[in-house]
Amino acid sequence: MRLIRRRREVEAEIAGEAAAAAAVTAPPADPDLEAAAFFDVDNTMMRGASIYHFARGLATRGMFTTSDLFKFAVGQAVFRLRGNENPEHIAVARETALAFVAGAKVDDVVRLGEEIYDEVMADRIWGGTRALAQSHLDAGQRVWLVTATPVELARVIAQRLGLTGALGTVAETRDGIYTGRLVGDLLHGPAKAEAVRALARREGLDLTRCTAYSDSANDLPMLSLVGNAMAINPDTELREHARKVGWPIKDFRTGRKATLTALPIAAGVGAVAGGVAAGIALRRHYRPHL
């Protein structure tokens, strides 16, 4: 177990460094270069899981069946409930993440991500969270998304929202095609903190002046890394922790909307693990053109 734990720590460090290297940066007009904000995506910036919405967009294009989509959603729910600290579940999640991108063209994934964001995701952005991000931009601070979603899709979301860039799971590519291997591990849990730490070194950020936002206790390593943290639409564990340590809490969910949001949600590794259905669809659709 000690060797497994150390290997996971090393993979998280590699994933963090890769995510930081892949981040797109754009300086604000009146910059405060030492402070920045980091936002989780799924159920923090967006209702539900970004990769689930991406898969739905692929389904509407006939790339896989409704049954595949159902299995996709169930797999995410099972992981969220039982898999976060189970090494076997994490290993399966990593393998399915490889299946998500193997054989697909990077340009195809980006183009589909742009189309599907505009069609499906744009209306699912939490207005309150978007306003928080804008407040950092208005203060001259840079704003990054930090998510287990593949970095190409994360970048699309960041660009559409006018943010600085995104830290996401990085997949290895060769000649513009995904090899089916990850660079490091999934950007989940401790790997998110490693990515933020690596980006801070590269960009000269003072982490004590930075702020992080998330809905999930899985992101406690990232939230605890910065000087300011806020729980957005928090799960039970994060809500309790936030109250204990005095972090502000914002909940933009109300009544039935909150219940519906919980159905497709997939935090961290679960989001990428569920992407196997979309990956199979992409490989089947594009392999004849490679």
Does the residue 180 lie in any domain? yes
Quick: pLDDT tens for 37-88: 999 999 999 998 888 888 788 778 776 666 665 655 555 555 455 445 455 5
Supply the range of the domain harboring residue 55: 36-250
> Is residue 42 flagged as an active site residue?
yes
Q: How confident is the model at residue 146 (pLDDT cuts 50, 70, 90)?
A: very high
Which pLDDT value is given to residue 244? 98
42 in any annotated domain: yes
> Catalytic one among 30, 42, 175, 251?
42
* pLDDT at 278 (0 to 100): 47
Q: For this structure, is 40 an active site residue?
A: yes
Task: Work out the average pLDDT over 146-162.
Answer: 94
pLDDT at site 55: 78
Our count of domains for the chain comes to 1
pTM of the model: 0.77
The answer to whether residue 3 sits within a structural domain is no
Q: Which of the residues 32, 40, 107, 175 is marked catalytic?
A: 40
In this structure, is residue 134 part of a structural domain?
A: yes
Per the domain annotation, does 99 fall within a domain?
yes
In a domain, 188, yes or no: yes
149 lies in a domain? yes
**Distance separating alpha carbons of residues 54 and 32, to the nearest angstrom:** 34
pLDDT at 34 over 90: yes
The average pLDDT across 114-118 equals 95
Q: What is the pLDDT of residues 202-216, one digit of tens each?
A: 999 999 999 999 999
CATH of the domain at 77: 3.40.50.1000
Structural domain contains residue 122: yes
Name 14's Cβ contacts closer than 8 Å, sequence gap at least 6. 183, 184, 185
